[in-house]
């Protein structure tokens, strides 16, 4: 057996690129299994830096820092979607097992590459992207088919939580919208009539084993995820099977080791389109922490350590409610929300990310409600009420 295929065992260091909440929850999962964690993030007080065993405080392109990380860690993964491909390649060249590698991550980082990928494998996956075209130059503006309007103009890079996108109702508004983004490369996508939104979380091990979690149904408010419900209440069994099949095909075609999330739209007529790929655990997969046998973060640990993947079985129905900085503001003043009112509720499991400064729209934590569907629904509604969540 090749040397590469031996597992990285507990007691060793795992590395994580990016120090946000996803890295923090990854670190908790890794440490619970006896691993040590080294995080690379320029921020001196990042959520992950607070809990990791070592924090290399440097930029992602700092070769000295990458060499230090490579000397400590046998295996590195990423929690930060926009980590430069070169960082992953440099670490690989330094002899580190990098999972996922830059080829998979860079496709998900660029909407043009992502949509092309989804279109290329549409037949095999059984689901493709919404109709779109690429806008790279002024001349492209006149080539856009009328059928794409009303559309959504999205920057190819760096979009998240609804940022970097704008609705364009008519062809004559397009050039102004594109100028508004500084004429960077964009895709114009047809605005679809969504019945609801779902996401599929899948994991692939180094040995090509692929497992899927149950499909989750998502509600966004102001472009930010608000709740995730599992099992997805509006999805038929046939649709779920089709979506899981597509997500598994996607992770294999990307030759991707790790945890990956694919967002899908279910349209009014029942048709399904693939929206985007996140090359890491995802906000809509947080419910797995309390509702599944293996959380998405433990799965990330297992995949990067070349250990067997864990069961993705859902033990009980669940709703995840995101907590934004808005919840900390009462009459313009910052105060700690009344967690005691939430924690009274039997199904509630509170997760906070250790961010000291609440800001409106900033993800501060989430609550996973786990239990019987009706109990979970009631506890979520009650929490929205006691926390004054008005979205
Ligand atoms: P982000 O990277 O911000 O998550 P998305 O492409 O997922 O960007 O878009 C954010 C949200 O905007 C989606 O979850 C969906 O609600 C809405 N949206 C995006 N694209 C479309 C579309 N083509 N048609 C209808 N709604 C869309
Ligand atoms: Mg999205």
pLDDT in tens, 289-323: 999 999 999 999 999 999 999 999 999 999 999 99
Residue 147 and residue 228 in one domain: no
Q: Name the residue at shortest CA distance from atom 1 of ligand 1.
A: 160
Residue 184 and residue 199 in one domain: no
Residue 40 and residue 140 in one domain: no
Percent of the chain with pLDDT over 90: 94
Q: Quick check: is 6 in a domain?
A: no
For residue 154, give the ligand nearest its CA.
1
**Are the C-beta atoms of residues 55 and 32 closer than 8 Å to each other?**
no
Q: Quick check: is 135 in a domain?
A: yes
Q: Quick check: is 209 in a domain?
A: yes
Q: What is the CATH number of the domain that holds 144?
A: 3.30.1490.20
Residue 357 and residue 307 in one domain: yes
Residue 256 and residue 308 in one domain: yes
203 Cβ neighbours under 8 A, 6+ residues apart: 210, 211, 212, 251, 258, 259, 260, 296, 299, 300, 302, 303, 309, 312
Q: Is the peptide bond before 297 cis (omega within 30 degrees of 0)?
A: no
Please tell me whether the overall predicted TM-score, pTM, comes out greater than 0.85 for this model: yes
Pocket of ligand 1 (CB under 6 A): 130, 152, 154, 159-162, 189-192, 194, 197, 220, 223, 263, 275-276
Q: Quick check: is 175 in a domain?
A: yes
Residue 204 and residue 174 in one domain: no
Residue 211 and residue 281 in one domain: yes
Q: What is the CATH number of the domain that holds 28?
A: 3.40.50.20
Q: Quick check: is 391 in a domain?
A: no
Supply the pLDDT for residue 4.
Answer: 54
Name the domain count of the chain. Answer: 3
Which atom of ligand 1 sits closest to the CA of residue 162? Answer: 3
Has residue 199 got a pLDDT over 80? yes
Residue 151 and residue 236 in one domain: no
Q: Quick check: is 70 in a domain?
A: yes
Q: pLDDT band at 162, cuts 50/70/90? A: confident
Q: Angle, nearest 10°, between helix axes 296-304 and 21-32? A: 70
358 Cβ neighbours under 8 A, 6+ residues apart: 325, 327, 328, 329, 334, 364
Residue 165 and residue 269 in one domain: no
Q: Of 115, 223, 271, which is best to mutate to test ligand 1, by the most ligand atoms within 8 angstroms of its C-beta? A: 223
Domain boundary among 148, 164, 190: 190
Residue 61 and residue 140 in one domain: no
Residue 143 and residue 62 in one domain: no
Q: What is the CATH number of the domain that holds 211?
A: 3.30.470.20
Q: Quick check: is 152 in a domain?
A: yes
Domain boundary among 163, 190, 217: 190
Has residue 114 got a pLDDT over 50? yes
Q: 148: domain range? A: 131-190
Which atom of ligand 1 sits closest to the CA of residue 159? Answer: 2
- Span 181-194, average pLDDT: 96
Which atom of ligand 1 sits closest to the CA of residue 154? Answer: 6
Domain boundary among 190, 217, 241: 190
Burial of 385 (0-12, 13-18, 19+ CB in 10 A): exposed
pLDDT tens profile 88-111: 999 999 999 999 999 999 999 999
Q: Of 112, 118, 152, 266, which is best to mutate to test ligand 1, by the most ligand atoms within 8 angstroms of its C-beta? A: 152
Residue 377 and residue 276 in one domain: yes
């Amino acid at each position: 057996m090749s040397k590469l295929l031996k597992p990285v065992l507990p007691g060793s260091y795992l590395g994580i690129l990016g120090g946000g909440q996803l890295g923090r929850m990854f670190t908790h999962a890794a440490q619970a299994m006896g691993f040590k964690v080294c995080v690379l993030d320029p921020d001196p007080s990042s959520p992950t830096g607070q809990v990791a065993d070592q924090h290399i405080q440097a930029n992602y392109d700092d070769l000295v820092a990458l060499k230090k990380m490579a000397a400590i860690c046998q295996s590195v993964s990423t929690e930060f979607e926009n980590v430069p491909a070169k960082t992953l390649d440099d670490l690989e060249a330094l002899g580190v097992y990098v999972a996922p590698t830059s080829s998979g991550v860079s496709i998900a980082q660029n909407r043009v590459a992502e949509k092309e990928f989804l279109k290329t494998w549409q037949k095999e996956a059984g689901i493709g992207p919404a109709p779109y075209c690429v806008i790279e130059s002024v001349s492209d503006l006149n080539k856009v088919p009328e059928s794409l309007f009303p559309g959504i103009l999205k920057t190819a890079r760096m979009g998240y939580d609804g940022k970097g996108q704008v609705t364009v109702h008519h062809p004559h508004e397009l050039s102004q919208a594109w100028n508004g983004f500084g004429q960077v490369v964009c895709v114009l996508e047809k605005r679809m009539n969504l019945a609801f939104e779902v996401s599929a979380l899948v994991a692939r091990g180094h040995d090509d084993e692929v497992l899927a979690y149950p499909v989750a149904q998502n509600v966004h408010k102001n472009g930010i995820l608000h709740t995730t419900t599992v099992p997805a209440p509006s999805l038929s069994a046939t649709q779920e099977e089709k979506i899981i099949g597509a997500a598994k095909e996607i992770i294999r075609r990307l030759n991707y080791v790790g945890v990956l999330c694919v967002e899908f739209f279910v349209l009014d007529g029942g048709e399904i389109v693939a929206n985007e790929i996140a090359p890491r655990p995802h906000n809509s997969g947080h419910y797995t922490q309390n509702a599944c046998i293996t959380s998405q973060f433990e799965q990330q640990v297992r995949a990067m350590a070349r250990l067997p993947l864990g069961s993705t079985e859902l033990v009980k129905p669940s709703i995840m409610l995101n907590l934004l900085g808005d919840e900390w503001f009462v009459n313009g003043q910052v105060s700690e929300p009344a967690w005691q009112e939430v924690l009274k509720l039997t199904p509630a499991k509170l997760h906070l990310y250790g961010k000291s400064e609440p800001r409106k729209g900033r993800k501060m934590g989430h609550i996973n409600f786990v239990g019987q569907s009706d109990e979970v629904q009631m506890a979520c509604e009650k929490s929205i009420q006691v926390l004054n969540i008005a979205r």
